Amino acid sequence: MDPITLQNLINAAQGGVDGAAPDEAAKAPADPAKAVAEYLAAHPETDVAALQAEAVQSFTEISAAGADSDDSLAAVEALADVIDGVKVEQERIDAAGEEKRAKLAALSERVKAATGSEAEGEDNADADATAEAEVVAEAEAVAVDAAGADANVDAGAAAETAAAPEAVAASAAKPVKRVRLSQIPRKTVVMPAENTVDNTPRAAIIASADVAGFATGQNLSTRELADAANVKLQSLSASGGKASASVARIHIPFDEELTADGRNDQDVIDYAADTSRLDGGSLVAAGGWCAPSETLYELGGILADANAGLIDLPEVKAARGGLRFTEGPDYAALYGDPKIGFIQTEAQAAAGSGFTSPTGATITGTEKPFLRVPCPDFTDVRAEAAGLGIVAGILANDAYPEMTQEIVEHALIAHSHRINTRTLNRQVSLSGTAISLSLGPSATTSVLNAVGIQIVDYRYANRMSPEAELEIVLPLWLKELVRADQSVRNGSNVTEAFEVTDQKIDAWFKARNAVPRWVYDWQDAFSGVAGGFGAATAITAWPTTVDIMIYKAGTFVRARGEVISVDAIYDPTSLKQNDFHRLFVEEKLLVIKRRWKSRLVRVPLAVNGAVGAARELDAQGKIVVTTP
């Protein structure tokens, strides 16, 4: 099918038939604009916006040529009718699209309601799945229909308008002078790329997409802007008053010489203030200005890392309000239960004097002691919400978006580390009271000995494999403290003292079957330690103690819910203050001790490099203080 041309629309406005020769006796339809709109409706594949732009251009050029002939006057009149008709059709298209979008939104709510409902028992699972599938299928069908809405608006109307020019011409009563657009004289007019008045830039109001009654990119008057904004605000109110909606953008054109982008600000200011560039010129006063300070708008970048020093835990998704679980039996408690196992000698059997437990305790009676499997106790841990929000000024964000963006990036990194802090704090509280140990003369030996003895004891309590690994959680600053301790170690050579790498420190722990987890956000200023690492005042002394967590991998589990993340929200209340919500993030969080045990050990730290051979130690590795 040949594309629809502007001449086709003029024919429709004048009651003509496509392909017919101009007829001076043709009759104009009673409503030319309506005839054009009906013609466009019958040809839904037409680029309405392009035809509108062509009609406006032709109207301008014919008018500029004088339009002093009957043919020219008839042409501009027909073009005016065409422009009115195109607007009518555009409004119809927008309204039809809005109706489809509303229906889709309603169906989406139905889908959400259906998928969010809880099935009661396994018997209803299939029925619920079928109902949900039917709703989704209906939503998809409407989505497909909406995609072709412009091509299939109303079959009956399209059929009636297929021969619109002929039907209108037959019923019209007013004679009209037919127009052949290609024969009308015109004067070429270059349409201004920007709106100007007396060579002064003037603001252009440009319609956004999906604004009912206006084409995308169409220039709006202030009255039309108000009408469009009212329509959008009404739709926002209907949806609860909180949504993001674009109505239009206001564009003020400037020459490149008058555009300051942070790199050429002073040049732009100088050019703007130079009166010699004005019409007629102007003398510049003698003398000059003192050089002003240069403004650097570039920001220095982000040092923080959202992934550095985070605790590594198994994670699950918490679909409900929390987790309900049982830790299961404890091996040490079972082993010590007098009812688990028995020994009976021949003499005890003959005398009926009872039994002996495997640990040597006496069990009276003649009935063999059996252990009954207890009913498990379930623990219910409720989730908590963790999030953040950022509000920005609309004008401030427009003038300096780099600042807003960097604030958002820093906030998201901070959110990641706050989740880390909360996780570690929960682990500490679930590990119980700290066990104080002092098993070495210096920081290095004190830490390694404490870790080693606890790992051995943990294995014994659970009869684990001698090679079984345990995880240990340590603050990141402890690495450098160990290096400092090694640098003053008695009897060390230069390599041993000053080339203590991270890998070497990790190897010392791994030799004890400990897997170190070096973390931020624990035992530092950001986790609440006054004067700790990262405080506003620089630290000047090493900490005197350190806490270490020791547990089997899988002891702790972290559950997180779906993340709610909204990049920007414009709501009526904020708009009144010229603000908008730049970021909102909220997620579900909980940490549980799934099973087994976790130990919290507190170790003294002495950065003195002392070694056992140089000091007298007791049987526990403690320094024996000589009595004077």
- Burial of 55 by CB count in 10 Å (0-12 exposed, 13-18 middle, 19+ buried)? buried
Judged by DSSP in three states, 104 sits in helix
Per DSSP (E only), the strands in 335-423 are: 355-356, 362-363, 379-382, 384-393
219 backbone dihedrals φ, ψ, rounded to 5°: -75, 135
Nearest to 32 by CA among 165, 183, 150: 165
pLDDT in tens, 78-127: 888 889 988 888 888 878 877 887 888 788 778 877 776 444 444 444 44
Domains of the chain in sequence order: 6-183 (no CATH), 196-256 (no CATH), 329-375 (no CATH), 384-614 (3.90.1690)
Report the range of poorest mean pLDDT among 270-274, 329-333, 360-364.
270-274
What pLDDT is attached to residue 344?
80
Q: Rounded to whole angstroms, what are the CA distances from 454 to 171, 253, 559?
A: 102, 72, 28
What pLDDT is attached to residue 436?
94
pLDDT at 156 over 60: no
Q: Is the pTM of this model over 0.75?
A: no
pLDDT in tens, 532-567: 999 999 999 999 999 999 999 989 988 887 767 776
Tokens, residue 428: 């500490």
Report the range of poorest mean pLDDT among 105-109, 443-447, 507-511.
105-109
Under the banding of pLDDT at 50, 70 and 90, the label for residue 628 is: low
500, 483 Cβ separation under 8 angstroms: yes
What pLDDT is attached to residue 186?
67
- Segment 287-310 shows an average pLDDT of 74
Between β-strands 579-593 and 556-560, what pairing exists: parallel, antiparallel or unpaired?
antiparallel
Q: Which residue has the higher pLDDT, 526 or 114?
A: 526
Cβ-defined contacts of 303-306 (< 8 Å, 24+): 304/410, 304/413, 304/414, 304/417, 305/413, 306/412, 306/413, 306/416, 306/417
Instruction: Please state, rounded to an integer, the average pLDDT across all residues of the chain.
Output: 75
The H-or-E segment that residue 591 falls in is strand 579-593
Q: Which residue has the higher pLDDT, 69 or 275?
A: 69
pLDDT at 150 over 50: no
What span, in angstroms and rounded, lies between the C-alpha atoms of 436 and 195?
78
Nearest to 587 by CA among 611, 563, 569: 563
Nearest to 205 by CA among 248, 254, 246: 248
Query: How many other CB atoms sit within 10 Å of the CB of residue 167?
Result: 16
Query: How many other CB atoms sit within 10 Å of the CB of residue 613?
Result: 8
Instruction: Give the percent of the chain with pLDDT over 90.
Output: 20
4 backbone dihedrals φ, ψ, rounded to 5°: -75, 135
Q: Residue holding tokens 């009518």?
A: 88
The H-or-E segment that residue 55 falls in is helix 48-64
